[in-house]
Copies of this chain bind each other. A is one copy, B any other.
Amino acid sequence: MDQKHVHPLLVKYARIGAYKQPHCPGCGNGIVAQCMLRAIDELKLDMDKIVFASGIGCSSWIPSPLFNADVLHTTHGRSLAFATGVKLSNPELRVVVFTGDGDSAAIGGNHLIQAARKNIEILTVLVNNRIYGMTGGQVAPTTPHGVKTKTTPYGNLEYPFDLCKLVEAAGASYVARWTTFHTRQLVSSMKKGLLKKGFSFIEVISQCPVQYGTFVGIRDPAEMLHIFRKISVPFEKAKNMSREELEGKIVIGEFVDIERTGLAEAYQRLLEMMNL
């Protein structure tokens, strides 16, 4: 490929031969990928000391194969459990998990809350497109009430998770939500998460023009980004809004940012004590 026209972040951080993103045209996952590379670049982190883990789903292809680093593309829903083994084994490695709303809010829900409770030093980026993208548009535990999908032809009878609230209740050290429109805030959150010594969770509301878009009648990815901008409400402002006012809105911002000893560090302390 003509390197002249290749994005500097790709030249610097992409696996050779993996420049081409594996996602559909206009998919938000690529935006998230770019934000992560930018965060790493701005922090000047060594890619050789980061492990990227992911599960199964479109969002789980963000680092795989694009990122030129150690990449652990695992089974559906289990990436956080794999990542826990990596982090405990070598606490000097930074561990970043990319996952989807099906991957970590459906089948992997337990690993998500347990990782938060354990406060294991992992940054988790959950790309929430409110649908199962990869398998073709089935309802997810994040799909809004009433929405028709491939498997809710008469409308979704269930209610979606507020994932940030859930992860906060489970004990995470850092919790934030942005959309793929809010790339700069997202990069800055990612930088915080990369440096945090505890479990960090960033939910990114993302467009899936091909599946979710089809069901809600908005197939244009750019239009989705415009809508994200319009319906996003900063956390601070949302506090003073009623439940009705918040209907259909996306509350964005940083919800939690506390300090508590992470599990890998606690374990290292134990080892030091035992092996004096």
Contacts and interface: CB of A to CB of B under 8 A. Distances in A.
B171 A169 contact: no
Given A154-B270, A157-B266, A161-B170, A113 B109 contact: yes
Interface stretch (A89-97, A114-122, A125-133): A114-122
Nearest to A119: B159
A165 interface: yes
A154 B274 CA distance: 9
Interface residues on A, range: 20 to 34
Contacts of A106: 114
**How many copies of the chain does the oligomer comprise?**
2
Contacts of A158: 117-119, 263
A141 interface: yes
A110 interface: yes
A162 interface: yes
B157 A267 contact: yes
Contacts of A114: 106, 109, 141
A101 interface: no
A105 to B, nearest CB: 9
Contact of A141 (B117, B119, B266): B117
18 contacts: A106-B114, A107-B110, A109-B114, A113-B113, A113-B161, A113-B166, A117-B141, A117-B158, A117-B160, A119-B158, A119-B159, A154-B274, A157-B270, A161-B170, A162-B169, A166-B169, A166-B170, A169-B169
